[in-house]
């Protein structure tokens, strides 16, 4: 078993939302991902996909993107991104995606080698240059959801705990906050996240901080190649 990660697929096979408006490197990006995925990933592997999976607005528009994902090997673990407007209740998402997928929300999943995967969407963090009162409310809700997800890992008796988030769990100055405190208190080993593109890559947090390993896995940052996280 291996674990890979790739975020921000931004699929649009059922909608007219081409990503190449953000640069030539996005031209036919879903085909690049598909080719690398088949080259690297086997059916008994797991792939963490922390959000911005599809531009679809509803399940009808999502259908071609879901077929694309179903044709890719491996078991996929998902959290919601800020552009996943099709995501309704987690029960509806799980029923729609079916076997071979697991959508995280207020819970976690234990993988065969004893690694528990927790996660939530996350949000812009306090003291970010654009943090607003509304952001503060959403951020606090996401802190609560992260805590529920991490609490769930206790039921699983894991050897180690990883967290997948859509947003980077700190601000652009990489300051400690309530999310970081939660990650520390549950002795989280690894955090993978996405959301950052283009100039956003410059504010990423990577490497080991507060005893936790952080990795940015936005698909354009990792050159549309799923990143090996564990083998």
* pLDDT, tens only, 29-66: 999 999 999 999 999 999 999 999 999 999 999 999 99
Residue with token string 């799923």:
226
Q: Is the pLDDT of residue 129 over 80?
A: no
User: How many percent of the chain have pLDDT more than 90?
Assistant: 94
For 81, the token pair is 């991104």
CB pairs under 8 A, 24+ apart, for 36-39? Answer: 36/224, 36/225, 36/226, 37/6, 37/72, 37/73, 37/74, 37/226, 38/72, 38/73
| Percent of the chain scoring above 70 in pLDDT | 100
pTM of the predicted model over 0.85: yes
State the pLDDT at residue 18: 82
DSSP 177-215: -HHHHHHHHTT--EEEE----GGGGGG---EEETTEEEE
231: three-class secondary structure by DSSP = coil
- Tokens 């947090």 -> residue: 205
- Fold exhibited by the domain 3-230: Purple Acid Phosphatase; chain A, domain 2 (3.60.21)
Average pLDDT score, the chain: 96
pLDDT band at 20 (very low <50, low <70, confident <90, very high): confident
């Amino acid at each position: 078993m291996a674990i890979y990660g790739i975020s921000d697929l931004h699929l649009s096979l059922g909608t007219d939302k081409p990503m190449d408006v953000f640069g030539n490197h996005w031209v036919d990006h879903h085909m690049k991902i598909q080719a690398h995925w088949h080259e690297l990933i086997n059916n008994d592997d797991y792939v963490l996909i922390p959000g911005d999976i599809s531009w679809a607005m509803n399940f009808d528009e999502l259908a071609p993107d879901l077929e694309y994902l179903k044709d890719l090997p491996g078991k996929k673990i998902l959290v919601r991104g800020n552009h996943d407007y099709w995501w309704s209740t987690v029960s509806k998402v799980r029923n729609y995606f079916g076997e071979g997928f697991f959508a995280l929300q207020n819970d976690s999943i234990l993988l065969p080698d004893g690694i528990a995967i927790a996660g939530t969407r996350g949000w812009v963090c306090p003291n970010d240059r654009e943090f607003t009162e509304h952001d503060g409310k959403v951020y606090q809700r996401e802190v609560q959801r992260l805590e529920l997800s991490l609490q769930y890992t206790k039921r699983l008796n894991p050897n180690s705990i990883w967290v997948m988030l859509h947003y980077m769990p700190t601000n652009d100055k990489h300051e400690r906050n309530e999310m970081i405190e939660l990650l520390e208190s549950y002795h989280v080993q690894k955090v993978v996240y996405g959301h950052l593109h283009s100039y956003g890559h410059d504010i990423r947090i990577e490497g080991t901080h507060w005893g936790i390993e952080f990795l940015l896995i936005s698909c354009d940052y990792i050159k549309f190649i799923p990143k090996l996280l564990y083998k």
